Structure 1
Amino acid sequence: MSEITADRALKGIAAAIAKAKEIGSAHSIAIVDAGRNLVAFHRMDNALLASIEISQGKAYTSRSLNMKTGDVTQYVQPGGPFYAMETSHRTPMVVFGGGLPVEIGGKVVGAVGVAGGMIDQDVSVAEAALAAIAKG
């Protein structure tokens, strides 16, 4: 199957929660499909309220650009080719680590967005979700 089903998304959420607990942090986890529609979302107990929108923004951005959000940062800096791009869309883009595109069968079919911790924690939790989604 070459899409993010609800079942795959929930497996991703479960893996992300397990990783977050392992590293001792609380996150919000968002998973979107190819059309950037929210398929699954979870806010862990004590996750920052801001993490709700930020996680969804990371997933939206990653799918919109088919890039890791951490890789976008360099392009939106002053003097960069896409300076201020993150503020030029109706839906704000989030351009720091924690958003990862989901590829199944060599095709980008959605994205994961994680927020609530330090960037390296967000990325680690997102990677756990990504691995579980890829497994199916």
Structure 2
Amino acid sequence: MISKPVLTLDDAKNIAAAAEAEALRNTWRVVIAIVDDGGHLLYLQRNHGTQFGSVEIAIQKARAAVAFQRPTKVTEDAVLSGRLIHLALPGALPSEGGVPLMHDNQIIGGLGISGVRSFEDGQIAQAGVAALG
């Protein structure tokens, strides 16, 4: 048997609080989605006034970060550089703001942010990741 770290609801709440603080500092209205290592939704928060279309986008960013084991910015950069094959990958989302959550070099979940410009979503996501330690 192998032991592995597990993302808890308390962890998710701490990550979300740090991400929300960054969003509020910049007066950005966003959706914050956190999934476990299987891509299952663990936590979702939509700031008042955030477009409801960002709910599914945030969830998909978090899932894509887990599925492909890398930030969604990697896919965005690939598409912007002309590597359009990335658009055909199931579950890929070429928009910054999705990041894997890591502990001891293992993916324990994913964080997705949606609601503002792509690089701003990424900035908020990095603040959330920093709270994980």
Q: TM-score, normalised by structure 1?
A: 0.87
Q: How far apart in 2 are the matches of 1:97 and 1:30? A: 14
Q: How far apart in 2 are the matches of 1:4 and 1:15? A: 16
Q: How far apart in 2 are the matches of 1:12 and 1:79? A: 33
Count residues in correspondence.
130
Task: Look up the equivalent residue of 1:51 and give its one-letter code.
Answer: S
Task: Look up the equivalent residue of 2:104 and give its one-letter code.
Answer: G
Contact 2:13 2:43 in 1 (8 A): yes
1:82 is paired with a residue whose SS is helix
In 2 relative to 1, CA 83–103 (structure 1 residues): closer, same or farther, beyond 3 Å?
Answer: closer
Moved over 4 A (4+): 76-79
Q: TM-score, normalised by structure 2?
A: 0.88
Worse overlay, 74-83 or 39-48 = 74-83
Note the C-alpha offset of 1:82. 2.7
- 1:24-76 Cα offsets, whole Å, 9 max, x none, are 10000001111001111100011111110110010011110011101112444
Q: Determine the structure 1 residue equivalent to 2:43.
A: 40
Q: Does 1:23 align with 2:23?
A: no
Q: How far apart in 1 are the matches of 2:81 and 2:14? A: 39
Contact 1:77 1:84 in 2 (8 A): no
Q: Determine the structure 2 residue equivalent to 1:50.
A: 53
Aligned alpha-carbon RMSD (Å): 1.9
Contact 1:77 1:83 in 2 (8 A): no
Q: How far apart in 1 are the matches of 2:26 and 2:118? A: 13
1:19-98 correspondence runs (5 A): 19-76=22-79, 80=83, 82-86=85-89, 89=90, 92-98=91-97
Q: Determine the structure 2 residue equivalent to 1:109.
A: 108
Q: Determine the structure 1 residue equivalent to 2:16.
A: 13
1:96 is paired with a residue whose SS is coil
For structure 1, which runs of at least 5 residues remain unmatched after alignment? none
Contact 2:113 2:124 in 1 (8 A): yes
Contact 2:32 2:114 in 1 (8 A): yes
In 2 relative to 1, CA 74–40 (structure 1 residues): closer, same or farther, beyond 3 Å?
Answer: same
Contact 2:87 2:94 in 1 (8 A): no
1:45 is paired with a residue whose SS is coil
Identity %: 27
Q: How far apart in 1 are the matches of 2:30 and 2:76? A: 21
In 2 relative to 1, CA 78–71 (structure 1 residues): closer, same or farther, beyond 3 Å?
Answer: closer
